[in-house]
Structure 1
Amino acid sequence: MYIKKRINNNVVLAVDGELEVIVVGKGLGFQAYPNDPVDPTLIQQVYLPTEKINVKQMAVLLNEASFEEILLVEKIVKIGEAKLGREINPVILFSLLDHLLFAFKRHQEKLKIRSPIEWEIKQFYPKEIEVGLQALSLIEKEQGIVLEKSEAVFIAMHFVNYQFDQESMETTMDYMEAMGDITQLVRYYFQVELDENSINYQRFLNHLRYYLMRLNTHETANSLDNEEIVLTVKKKYPKEFKCSLKISNYLEERYKKTATFDEQLYLTLHLARLLHS
């Protein structure tokens, strides 16, 4: 295995045989140059590309996080494996890391949100909720950040979603059509071209996919008491909020379900991140 590109002091893009992989390890990228062999004693984790995330997207996300944050999420994944009694594909790290980086930012900005299906997750996935609560304790211990208890639900959802990774072809095609319509709506509304290779575009698609999964597998939950926060976000991101209304109207017409204040909030925030980062 040899280095193709240094990402940062702790992450490198490497070539293993004919496959490009992401390798993580403390100091692995320090003074590392292309074609250098990867020091096997420094390897902590090797990540292989998948259909959902390629090495370029992995590299961008890992470069946004500190080494300590990467280690933190790896520990949370291990907590999940121990609690749920099964091995979990290591690529869950990327969606979970992406969520936690976003959660830390929201914490700094004092934006509190709750999952619109919090009740269902707590009722039907108690073990995953326990994983989320243990993760919050670990975050407080290692990062000194006290996140809202509701974040345990979002963390739990990552482990729940992992279980439902396989979809019927009919469902997949339906999601693809809906997501295509929504991205076209965004392009038209803002009169912009979206970089389909960017990490933020992929983040937006992931959010839409999970949104569609919730619409298709759960009844829409009653709106939680987030109306005041929605108004705050509406004032900060007025165009994004109006666009989110158009998206919600499209989904309501398509699936006959109405978005809650919480879904409206999260969709607006994801639009803002897509368009302003």
Structure 2
Amino acid sequence: MKITRILNNSAVISENQDHEEIIALGKGIAYGKKVGDEFDKQKIYKIFTPLSDSQRKLLLETIHETDPIFFQISQKIVDRLKHEENIELADSVYITLTDHLATSVERAKKGLYLSNKFIWEVKNYYPKEYRYGLWALKLLDAQFDLNFPEDEAGFIAVHIISGELGNDISDFSKSVDFIKSITKIVRYYFHIDIDYQSLNYNRFAVHLKFFWKAMMYKKDQSSFGDLSREILNVIKNSDIEAYKCALKIKEYISEKYNYELNNEEIMYLAIHINKIVHGEEK
């Protein structure tokens, strides 16, 4: 591929085989090059194909104003999520995450740190994403000789969550409200204190997270596969209360989100509720 424009030593504009404009990032990819030269594809760690003029403008501004090291750190985070969790983040979130990291480091060098009002929710409702936030924090601390508080891991996790949802950060707070509301229904129905650190609750929260995404953006009646064995176990345990609680949740979702749960979705909720209440392992 040939360079049509050089943005900096680590970013160029070119065209793919379909003659679409691409923006390629790679360490030293444009060093010693000029427009019209071929560049080393092996150095590329990220390619963007902007879908709109606004996305292109945002990307070019971010590249112009941001040290390439922050793109590289973001790519390490994205690569690890893809490799270990098979999670693909939306390109738009990759850009906002890079900008966030650069801004956070700039503030930290001045001794300014932000508190995260969602830190409890992130830790308890999105523990996997929070763990990756902590890992990313170690990268920043080592690279820039800083000592970020855990609040920053929460901010990074929010960007990861937004990337999973495929939408902007405001969706994170909406999904948190959804998980919080459903959990509250379970707590009040059974008059119990939930162990938010338990494996069963973690699975429940993960299920709600992906259910929220499907409910809000796909609007389809998703199939969860053959639940005959799990349904049989629920029946054997005579856990009718878990099923009744799931029906309460169905009513809430119908009124709040105008979404009707099908029988399979209700039973799947009941299975998770049963495990939380009785502490059963899958």
TM-score (normalizing by structure 2): 0.56
**CA contact 2:161–2:172 (8 Å) conserved in 1:** no
The answer for the alignment partner of 2:173 in structure 1 is: 214
**CA contact 1:83–1:127 (8 Å) conserved in 2:** no
Instruction: Find the aligned partners of 2:93 and 2:113 in 1 and give their Cα distance.
Output: 24
SS in 1 for 2:14: strand
TM-score (normalizing by structure 1): 0.56
Q: CA deviation at 1:102?
A: 1.1
Q: CA deviation at 1:76?
A: 1.5
Instruction: Find the aligned partners of 2:154 and 2:51 in 1 and give their Cα distance.
Output: 26
The answer for the alignment partner of 1:10 in structure 2 is: 10
**CA contact 2:88–2:163 (8 Å) conserved in 1:** no
Q: CA deviation at 1:99?
A: 0.6
Deviation readout 1:178-231 (Å, 9 max, x if unpaired): xxxxxxxxxxxxxxxxxxxxxxxxxxxxxxx63475268528x9xxxxxxxxxx
Shift in alpha-carbon separation, 1:89–1:211, aligned structure 2, 3 A: closer
Deviation readout 1:142-196 (Å, 9 max, x if unpaired): 3322222110000001111122226xxxxxxxxxxxxxxxxxxxxxxxxxxxxxx
Instruction: Find the aligned partners of 1:69 and 1:48 in 2 and give their Cα distance.
Output: 20
**CA contact 1:20–1:55 (8 Å) conserved in 2:** no
Shift in alpha-carbon separation, 1:213–1:78, aligned structure 2, 3 A: closer
**CA contact 2:125–2:176 (8 Å) conserved in 1:** no
SS in 2 for 1:21: strand
Shift in alpha-carbon separation, 1:164–1:67, aligned structure 2, 3 A: closer
Structure 2 spans left out of the alignment, 5+ residues = 181-282
Shift in alpha-carbon separation, 1:26–1:134, aligned structure 2, 3 A: same
Shift in alpha-carbon separation, 1:41–1:144, aligned structure 2, 3 A: same
Shift in alpha-carbon separation, 1:52–1:162, aligned structure 2, 3 A: farther
Instruction: Find the aligned partners of 1:164 and 1:26 in 2 and give their Cα distance.
Output: 29
Q: CA deviation at 1:5?
A: 1.0
Instruction: Find the aligned partners of 2:110 and 2:33 in 1 and give their Cα distance.
Output: 37
Instruction: Find the aligned partners of 2:164 and 2:40 in 1 and give their Cα distance.
Output: 35
Deviation readout 1:61-90 (Å, 9 max, x if unpaired): 123233332222211222333443433345
Is residue 2:45 matched to residue 1:54?
no
Matches within 5 A, 1:69-148: 69-148=70-149
Instruction: Find the aligned partners of 1:105 and 1:140 in 2 and give their Cα distance.
Output: 13
Shift in alpha-carbon separation, 1:211–1:75, aligned structure 2, 3 A: same
Instruction: Find the aligned partners of 1:42 and 1:85 in 2 and give their Cα distance.
Output: 23
Instruction: Find the aligned partners of 2:85 and 2:91 in 1 and give their Cα distance.
Output: 15
Deviation readout 1:124-157 (Å, 9 max, x if unpaired): 1000000000111121223322222110000001
Instruction: Find the aligned partners of 2:74 and 2:52 in 1 and give their Cα distance.
Output: 21
Matches within 5 A, 1:147-186: 147-165=148-166
Shift in alpha-carbon separation, 1:82–1:212, aligned structure 2, 3 A: closer
Shift in alpha-carbon separation, 1:145–1:64, aligned structure 2, 3 A: farther
The answer for the alignment partner of 1:228 in structure 2 is: none
Shift in alpha-carbon separation, 1:53–1:119, aligned structure 2, 3 A: farther
Shift in alpha-carbon separation, 1:54–1:31, aligned structure 2, 3 A: farther
Instruction: Find the aligned partners of 2:128 and 2:78 in 1 and give their Cα distance.
Output: 13
Root-mean-square deviation (CA), in Å? 2.7
Q: CA deviation at 1:96?
A: 0.9
Code of the aligned partner of 1:147 = F
**CA contact 1:83–1:131 (8 Å) conserved in 2:** no
Deviation readout 1:78-109 (Å, 9 max, x if unpaired): 23334434333455321111111111122123
Structure 1 spans left out of the alignment, 5+ residues = 167-208, 222-277
Q: CA deviation at 1:19?
A: 1.1
Structure possessing the higher radius of gyration over alpha carbons: 2
Code of the aligned partner of 2:37 = D
Aligned length: 178
Code of the aligned partner of 1:155 = I
Task: Pick 1 or 2: higher relative contact order, CA cutoff 8 A, min separation 6.
Answer: 1
Instruction: Find the aligned partners of 2:53 and 2:125 in 1 and give their Cα distance.
Output: 27
